[in-house]
Structure 1
Amino acid sequence: MTPYLKLDHVDKVFTRGKVSSEVLKDINLNLGKGDYVSIIGHSGCGKSTMLNIIAGLTRATIGGVILEGREVNSPGPDRAVVFQNHSLLPWLTVYQNVRLGVDKVFAKTKSRAERDEWTMHNLNLVQMTHAKDKRPSEISGGMKQRVGIARALAMEPKVLLLDEPFGALDALTRAHLQDSVMALHQKLGNTIVMITHDVDEAVLLSDRIVMMTNGPSATIGEVLDVPLARPRQRLELASNPVYLDCRKRVLEFLYERHKFVEAA
């Protein structure tokens, strides 16, 4: 079966003057429609570079990204990114931050009233309609991330790219937002690629976990299937043997790579 999203023999080399650094080497990855895939690995293994290549923010040196049978090598609304830093415009309200993307993508296909309705629909998905008239400085970090997710979803992307979206949040807010993303994925069936450093987060949210070797010239060391039924409840999974086995296998992979770094 043809993959929905494919990374095909991707290499990435950064060059500054006469010095070149190979960050990624021969990355091959196939995703099906509706998959939730996490990318995990130690700092410097090229996770963010891989995400940026999928987003079209960085071009591969060799190879490329194919989405629904078409090569993509520049940014587009079919691939929306949510960064760890929410990247909201501070002078705009919550509503205006989401509406900005809606107007950009749907100016020719939706009327003004339809764009307003669609903006409110996506704010409702992340339970932020009550704060639609507030500015980013007036809401919490978790709420800002909800707005960032709403803005991304409002563009109706084929692929949602999450770059450590919960990394700057406290533990309780992080857990609530993870549950929200799980519920959205269950409801909307998005194809999601997420970068994380958190093993428990990766196992909780993902269908598959892509484990990266250490850089330079990082590549995919192993891809782990997470055969846990959805919807998932974090408290029930705490003692689930499948969850615990997946968690153990990721930790073993990262620990072995970490020892290699220390020995080098």
Structure 2
Amino acid sequence: MSKSYLSLEFIDKSFERNGVRSEVLSQVSLGVEKGEFISIIGHSGCGKSTLLNIVAGLTEATTGVVFLDGQVVDAPGPDRGVVFQNHSLLPWLTVYENVSLAVDKVFSRKKTKAERHDWVMRNLDLVQMGHARDKRPSEISGGMKQRVGIARALAMEPKVLLLDEPFGALDALTRAHLQDQVMQIHAELGNTVMMITHDVDEAVLLSDRIVMMTNGPAARIGEVLDVPIARPRRRIELATDPTYIRCRSAVLKFLYERHRLVEAA
């Protein structure tokens, strides 16, 4: 049986503290195809970020395995670019230096100094941050910091881009602009993306499929919803689109019913 480009197979994750074992994820299996945009959504504490960290190689699965392009994932690597909700830029470096640090690490033997410079600028231009190349993180807005974080991740040419609620701390207007930009980048690069989100509208707007997690402990995949909306997508037009409304309702229904089950338990 051929594997998907990114394949999560029977992932379990437990943590043990003071002799007490808590099961976070149970038997999570998921295949993601090359170029696909997947969102993972669920209530707080359902292990979404833990799952993303396992794919990133930052957390080890208790049992199960992750394959990316046929290779086992068991440590962090430049084939997976991660963007966290906290931008995690180095405050003493400029915008340019934050991106070039990653580029130099990945491409020091493959690209000349001039090629690396061009590559840094290309990725900053991709997120419309070339004009701010000499500014430090303290001199730019939260939305701009996230753009730089996305540029840094993309500059490593990762096989999959991992987004952990990347717009969660931003105001609504900035969030909308960045969502549109991520859609444009995905259209231009055809990259494979896995995004964690709490936001139903964001998930439907951006995704090819939405993976809905059950509540923890021992969270698993409850449903996977296809979002058969043609691209490019324009948020204003989608507000009255029947498919958008149907997908949005399906996710809300799943989350509401799962939440109600927890309250009733």
Bin for the TM-score computed over the shorter chain: over 0.9
Q: What letter is aligned with 2:7?
A: K
Q: Aligned residue for 1:220? A: 221
Structure 1 residue 261 displacement after superposition: 1.5
Number of residue pairs matched by the alignment = 264
**What TM-score do the two structures reach when normalised by structure 1?**
0.99
Q: Which runs of 5+ in 2 are unaligned?
A: none
Q: What letter is aligned with 1:209?
A: I
Structure 1 residue 41 displacement after superposition: 0.2
Structure 1 residue 260 displacement after superposition: 1.1
Q: Which runs of 5+ in 1 are unaligned?
A: none
Pairwise mapping of residues 151-170 of structure 1 onto structure 2 (< 5 A)? 151-170=152-171
Distance 2:9 2:3 in 1: 13
Q: Aligned residue for 2:45? A: 44
Q: SS in structure 1 opposite 2:222?
A: strand
Q: Aligned residue for 2:126? A: 125
Q: Which moved more, 1:239-248 or 1:66-75?
A: 66-75
Query: How far does the alpha carbon of each residue in 1:30-73 deviate from its partner, in whole angstroms, 9 at most, with x for none?
Result: 00000000000000000000000000000100001001111111
Distance 1:260 1:253 in 2: 11
Structure 1 residue 16 displacement after superposition: 1.6
Q: SS in structure 2 opposite 1:66?
A: strand
Distance 1:257 1:97 in 2: 41
Q: SS in structure 1 opposite 2:15?
A: strand
Structure 1 residue 18 displacement after superposition: 1.0
Q: Aligned residue for 2:116? A: 115
Q: Aligned residue for 2:105? A: 104
Q: Aligned residue for 1:181? A: 182
Q: Aligned residue for 1:232? A: 233
Q: Aligned residue for 1:140? A: 141
Query: How far does the alpha carbon of each residue in 1:3-36 deviate from its partner, in whole angstroms, 9 at most, with x for none?
Result: 1000000000111231111000000000000000
Distance 1:59 1:16 in 2: 16
Q: Aligned residue for 1:209? A: 210
Structure 2 residue 67 is the aligned partner of structure 1 residue 66: yes
Q: Aligned residue for 1:249? A: 250
Distance 2:124 2:87 in 1: 15
Q: Aligned residue for 2:5? A: 4
Distance 1:45 1:72 in 2: 22
Q: CA RMSD in A?
A: 0.6
Q: SS in structure 2 opposite 1:10?
A: strand
Q: What letter is aligned with 1:76?
A: G
Q: SS in structure 2 opposite 1:24?
A: strand
Structure 1 residue 255 displacement after superposition: 0.3
Distance 2:263 2:85 in 1: 28
Structure 1 residue 249 displacement after superposition: 0.2
Q: SS in structure 2 opposite 1:229?
A: coil
Q: What letter is aligned with 1:135?
A: R
Q: Which runs of 4+ in 1 moved over 3 A?
A: none
Query: How far does the alpha carbon of each residue in 1:157-208 deviate from its partner, in whole angstroms, 9 at most, with x for none?
Result: 0000000000000000000000000000000001000000000000000000
Q: Which moved more, 1:219-228 or 1:61-70?
A: 61-70
Q: Aligned residue for 2:198? A: 197
Query: How far does the alpha carbon of each residue in 1:111-166 deviate from its partner, in whole angstroms, 9 at most, with x for none?
Result: 11111110000000000010000000000000000000000000000000000000
Q: SS in structure 1 opposite 2:247?
A: helix
Distance 2:83 2:3 in 1: 27
Distance 1:54 1:209 in 2: 17
Q: SS in structure 1 opposite 2:64?
A: strand
Distance 1:124 1:191 in 2: 20
Q: What letter is aligned with 1:229?
A: A
Query: How far does the alpha carbon of each residue in 1:198-239 deviate from its partner, in whole angstroms, 9 at most, with x for none?
Result: 000000000000000000000000000000000000001000
Structure 1 residue 2 displacement after superposition: 3.1
